[in-house]
Amino acid sequence: MNRQTCLSTIQLHSFGLILRESKRLFPVEGEPLRSLVMDEAVNTPNEAPASVEPVEVNEAAPSTVIGDPLLEAPVVKNNPFQIEVEFRERVCYALAYNKVPTVRTIGVRNLNGGVSGQITVEVSMKWSASEIQPMRKFEVVLEAPVMGQKVIVDGQQFRLDDTALVDLTESAPAQLVITVHDQAGLEQTEFRDILVLPRDQWINDRSFFEITSAFVQPNHPAVTQILQDASSILMRDTKSSSLEGYQSGPERAAQIGAAIFMALQGRIDRYIDPPASFEEEGQKLRPLDRVLEERQGTCLDLACAYASCLEQAGLNPLVFMVHGHAFTGFFLEEIDRGLPSAITDFNTAITLLESGLIIAAETILLTENKPFAEAVTAVRRHMRDSDMSCGTCSAVVAQGMSPKEHPHLRGLVNISAAHQSGILPLPARVVRDGIVTLVIDNGPTQPPIVERRDEKTRKLLPNTVPARVQQWKNSLLDLSFRNTLLNFKPEKTGIKLLAPSFALGPIEDWLSAGQPIVARAADILDKIYEERGIRAAQDIAETELGEIWGREHILFAANEEATFVTRVRGLISKAKLEEQDSGVNNLYITFGSLIWNDPKSATGEVRSPIFMAPIRMAVKRGQVMPVIVMDDSGTTNINYCLIEALRARTGMKLQWFSDDMSDDFGIDVERGLQEMRAEILDQRLTEQGFRVETDISIGMLRFNKVRLWKDLNDHWM
C-alpha cells in the first residue's frame, strides 16, 4: 500500500467515526460534522494530490469533536504568512524609560499567493501583573510582499509603556502578540514569551552596558548630603570647600574624588555579595537613599552611588565591569575625544587606564575605614585580561581558551557620555514621613522635575506642579549654554555700554518712565577731552561718566565709531526682520550680568544678563548716534532662564527673584544685584569664579518662550 492510499484509508476511517459520533450527538444525521470535515478538502485515492503548502501544526489547539481521543488530534492549517520576530526576551524599566524598543524587527513573508494589496501588522503585549498593559497596541500598514518574499517592519516604535512598569517589584511574565491580516480577511496571530523584570533590575548585558548609566542618579536628593560632607572634608584638608569639577586641574579633581569617597565611607558599613545570577542576569539595584539608610550595598550598588555623587560634583565617572564585580573611577581632566558611552574593547580600556587619565577605586572599601589611596591600589589586579583569583578566568584557562577571548576586564561605562547621548537616569523616588518625592532627571542640559505626593492618596501636595506641567514648562526653557540668555557675548554680537556702576538703577528708571537714551561711540568725544589727552571714553573717570549721564543722558559704547555704526545698523536691521517674521521684538538692553560657570560643562566661563528690557533703537537721518527708548509693549524683566539654570545647576534658592521686585518706575535693579551677590557668597560660589558685574549691553535676545514659561508657571492651575 503506497503512502497516499494509507493516508486516505486513515482519513476515511476517521470520517466514519465522526459520522457515528454525530448520529449520537445531533438529531439530523451527521450534517454539522460532515460540513466541518468536508471543508478540510480531504484527498481520496482517485483525486489528484493537493498542492503542497507550508503548514503549521498547532498542538495547543484541541479538536472541537468530543468523544474518541483519536479525534482530538492536532489541527493542521495553512498559514498565509511566515512571521519572524527579533525581540528582547528580558526587558526592564530602565529600557522602557529610555525608550529602547522591545521589538527590533518583524519580518513577514508571504506564503500564500492569494495575499495582495495591503497588510496590517498589529503588535501588542499582555500580562496579568497590572490592568495597564505593558505595551499599547501598535498598527503598521504596508504593501503585501509578492509570494515568497518578505517585508521588514522596523521595531523602533514598539516600546514598552514605562508607566506600566514603574510599580513592578517582582518579575512578571508577558506575551508579545503579533497579528498580521490582509484586506480579504486572511489573518494570523503569533505569540512570543517575554519576561518583564522588576523596576529596579539591572541587566548584565555586555552588548548594552550603557544602560548602567540609568542607575547613576546625580540629581538624587541624597547626593546633596554627601557633597556637603565632602565639602567639609575638602575645607579641612585643603582649606577650600569648592567642588569645582575640572576647573582647577587634575590634582584638584583627584582631591574632590577622594573627599567624596571619604564622605560615603562615613555612611556605609557593610558590603553584600552580589547574587549568584549577577554574571548572567544582573541584579536588583539599591538607589542611593536605600544604600545610605541600610548602610550597605553590593559592589554595583556602591559603584553607582559613588558615580552619582562624582557626576553631581562635576567629574566624569566611569563604572568598570569585570567578571562578577563592578567598581568606579573618574577622569582626571575633561575628556573630549569622542569616546563612546561604553568601552568594551580591552585594548582601548587598558590604554586609557595606562595613560594616567583615569583614577579607579575599589568601592567595596567604602564599607571600611581604609584610605582612598588603598582603594586605588586595590583595583589594579582587575586591570588585566586574566585574574587567576577569579573563578571565571580560571574556567576560561581550564577549558583551553585564551584570556583575550574572555578578558577579565569586560568593559567600562562612560557615565557622563551616556547621559549626554540621551540615556536618562531613572527617576529618584524617596518616601519619607508619608510623602513620596519623585525627582525626574531630564539630562545634563535640563533642570530636574520634582513632584511631591501623599503616599496613601497619591494626590499632589499643595504648591506642587505636576510632572507633565513641569515637562511642558521645561520645553519652553533652553537651559543649555547655546542659549544667548545664558551665554551672552555683547562684545562680539552686540554693543557694550560704559555705564557708571552706581547708575544702573537710575538708567533703568529713566527708560521705564518712557525717556530716551542716546548712545555714542567711544571715540566721539567733546574737544575738551581731546585737549586733556583722552582719546576714548574708556579713559574717562567713572564719576565723570556719571555726570555726563546726569546732564545729557548719553551713554558711551565700548566700540570706536566704525565698528559702532556697523553694529547699530546690523542690530536695527536684524530686529526689524525678526519682528516681521515672528511678530516679536527681540532687541533688548540688559542691566547687570552674572559671570559664572558650570563645572559639569566644558563651555567654561559665561556671561548671563540678570535684568533685561525690550527697546526700540533708531538713528535719525544724517546722524550716527542712535536714540534708545523702551518698547511701549514691554517692561523690564528678570532673566528667568538664568534663575532656573542656577537653581538647577547650583541649588541656589534666589527667593527674592520670586517676590515683588518693583520700585517706583520699574524693577529695583540695584537691590536685585545685591541679592544675587549675597546668595553667591552664602553658597561659597565666589570660590568657583561666580561674580556680579554692573554693566549695560544691547543685543538680540529671544525671550518670547520665556514669557510663555512665566505665564504657565504662574497660572497652570
- At 102 the three-state DSSP class reads coil
Tell whether 715 is covered by a domain: no
Largest CA-CA distance found in the chain, in angstroms, rounded: 129
Give 401-407's long-range contacts (Cβ < 8 A, gap of 24+).
404/346, 407/346
- DSSP class of residue 591 equals E
Question: Over the stretch 559-578, which tens digit does the pLDDT of each residue have?
Answer: 999 999 999 999 999 999 98
Instruction: Flag whether pLDDT at 47 surpasses 80.
Output: no
Q: What pLDDT is attached to residue 276?
A: 81
One domain for residues 543 and 686: yes
Strands 103-110 and 150-154: antiparallel
Is there a domain that residue 240 lies in? yes
Locate cell 484586506: which residue? 183
Tens digits of residue pLDDT in 475-531: 556 778 888 999 999 999 899 999 998 999 999 999 998 999 999 999 988 888 878
Helices (H), 268-322: 288-294, 299-312
- How far is 182 from 188, CA to CA, in rounded Å? 10
Q: Which single residue is written with the C-alpha cell 547621548?
A: 421
Return the pLDDT at 710. 57
Tell whether 411 and 444 lie within a shared domain: no
401 to 200, 392, 393, 409: CA distances (angstroms): 35, 12, 10, 16
Structural domain contains residue 115: yes
Summarize pLDDT for 424-480 with one digit per residue, the tens.
999 888 777 777 777 878 777 666 777 777 777 767 665 555 565 555 555 556 778
453 or 613, which is more confident = 613
Residue 123 sits in a domain whose CATH number is 2.60.40.2550
In a domain, 717, yes or no: no
Instruction: Name the residue type at position 102.
Output: T
Tens digits of per-residue pLDDT, 267-324? Answer: 999 999 988 877 778 899 999 999 999 999 999 999 999 999 999 999 999 999 988 8
> pLDDT tens digit string along 175-207?
999 999 988 888 999 999 999 999 999 998 888
Whether 85 and 145 share a structural domain: yes
Q: How many domains does the chain have?
A: 5
| Same domain, residue pair 155 and 296 | no
**Does residue 531 form part of some domain?**
yes
Task: Enumerate helices (H) and strands (E) in the chain, giving the number of each.
Answer: 21, 30
Instruction: Give CA–CA dist 396/405, Å, rounded.
Output: 9
Q: Containing domain of residue 546, as a range?
A: 490-701
Higher pLDDT, 385 or 29: 385
SS3 262: helix
Phi, psi at 572, each rounded to 5° = -65, -45
Cα 532 to Cα 402, 528, 536, 559, distances in angstroms: 84, 6, 11, 20
Is residue 343 in some structural domain? yes
Statement to judge: residues 537 and 634 lie in one domain: yes
Let me know whether 541 and 592 are in one domain: yes
Average confidence (pLDDT) over 366-371: 94
pLDDT tens digits for range 3-40: 444 433 334 344 343 334 443 333 333 333 333 332 33
Do both 472 and 564 map to the same domain?
no
Q: Are residues 148 and 215 in the same domain?
A: no
pLDDT single digits (tens) 241-279: 888 888 889 999 999 999 999 999 999 999 999 888 777
Query: With a threshold of 0.85, does the pTM exceed it?
Result: no
Out of 56, 76, 96, pick the residue that ends a domain: 76
Q: Which residues contact 230 (CB under 8 A, 6 or more apart)?
A: 243, 256, 259, 260, 262, 263, 309, 313
168 and 304 in one domain? no
Question: Cα separation of 168 and 247, whole Å?
Answer: 42
- In this structure, the answer to whether residues 416 and 463 fall within a common structural domain is no
Give me the residue label for grid cell 542716546: 518
Average pLDDT over residues 699-706: 77
Residues 381 and 447 occupy one common structural domain: no
User: H-helix or E-strand containing 10?
Assistant: helix 3-25
